[in-house]
Amino acid sequence: MDVEILEFVVPVENNKTLFVWNIQSLLTEAQIYDRLFGVFSSFGPLYLLKVRPNAPLQPSAFSAIVKFFSASHSSKAQRQTDGRLLFQDIPLKVRLSSKHTPHFLSESRRPLSHARCLELANHCLGFNGWTYDIITLEELSDEGEEDGAGGEEGGVRSLRFGCLLQLNFPRHGHTTRGAAVVNDSFTCTGPDVLLLKRCKLQKLVRDKALVQAFNTVLLILLENGKVMVEVKQTSDQILHEKIEGVIHVSETCMIYVYNITPTHQNEYIYVQSIYIYEL
């Protein structure tokens, strides 16, 4: 049985990239993007879809680049879309990239962003296929910092947060952990500025810890369409290497988590919740 292994890193291989051309100008660029996304995302999760106008003297108005996470999805999409009419009167031309991937790109292991990690995990595992639990989320302040001049209104204030969380795959019986530390310095002009900065840093450190956890996960795509999950290293190793000496976890840890909820006016409401973990 053929298998393919996906990691939560930016795909750079040329066999995951399609070039699409012969796109007519019957639709706007935004409409073409929507049509292409609808067609190609049906074969598998997309890392990139970019529509671009051609040179003025070329017969077709637009071309596109489509990059998949999976080489098998890319190959299947090429075979089933090349020469098809799809959403226009003339057939599209779809080809796999023939460009050689530079060595420095093929060896790079740049992690996916937080949003792309969620997209890939949800597409392959489903929205109920994974969960995460925050073990600790703490403000890591130097001794005496709270009483120093940096905490005064109008002064420069530094904040530092650490987060340790556990990523769970209940259907596959695997767990792994991720950790992150973030810090920022800013001019504190009032308590509202301090609260907003704390909210943003807590969300940022949680997102970074989740990305770090996903970076240890392997998705194994089977030929029959099923997905298996494996972990590259144990959570104990991650805890020892990344966390020891950085985040201290007491027997009872009170964690403040800020849920960010967008309103219809694109504003954000920060709602504080308190969770107590017995460790």
In this prediction, residue 100 carries a pLDDT of 61
Last residue of a domain, one of 106, 132, 158: 106
Residues 271 and 141 in one domain: yes
Residues 179 and 273 in one domain: yes
In this prediction, residue 111 carries a pLDDT of 93
Taking the whole predicted model, whether its pTM rises above 0.85 is answered as: no
pLDDT tens, position by position, 181-199: 999 998 888 889 999 999 9
The total of structural domains in the chain comes to 2
Residues 18 and 128 in one domain: no
Residues 138 and 264 in one domain: yes
Indicate whether 6 belongs to any domain. Answer: no
Indicate whether 32 belongs to any domain. Answer: yes
Residues 32 and 136 in one domain: no
Indicate whether 5 belongs to any domain. Answer: no
pLDDT tens, position by position, 119-137: 999 999 988 899 999 999 9
Indicate whether 171 belongs to any domain. Answer: yes
Residues 101 and 194 in one domain: no
pLDDT tens, position by position, 89-118: 899 999 998 766 555 455 567 899 999 999
pLDDT tens, position by position, 197-218: 999 999 999 999 999 999 999 9
- For 256, the domain range is 114-278
Residues 139 and 265 in one domain: yes
Indicate whether 4 belongs to any domain. Answer: no
Residues 82 and 145 in one domain: no
pLDDT tens, position by position, 26-40: 888 999 999 999 999
Residues 124 and 232 in one domain: yes
Last residue of a domain, one of 53, 86, 106: 106
Residues 42 and 58 in one domain: yes
Last residue of a domain, one of 57, 87, 106: 106
Indicate whether 1 belongs to any domain. Answer: no
Residues 62 and 149 in one domain: no
Residues 60 and 136 in one domain: no
* Mean pLDDT, residues 250-265: 38
CATH number at residue 71: 3.30.70.330
CA 236, CA 37: separation in Å to the nearest integer? Answer: 40
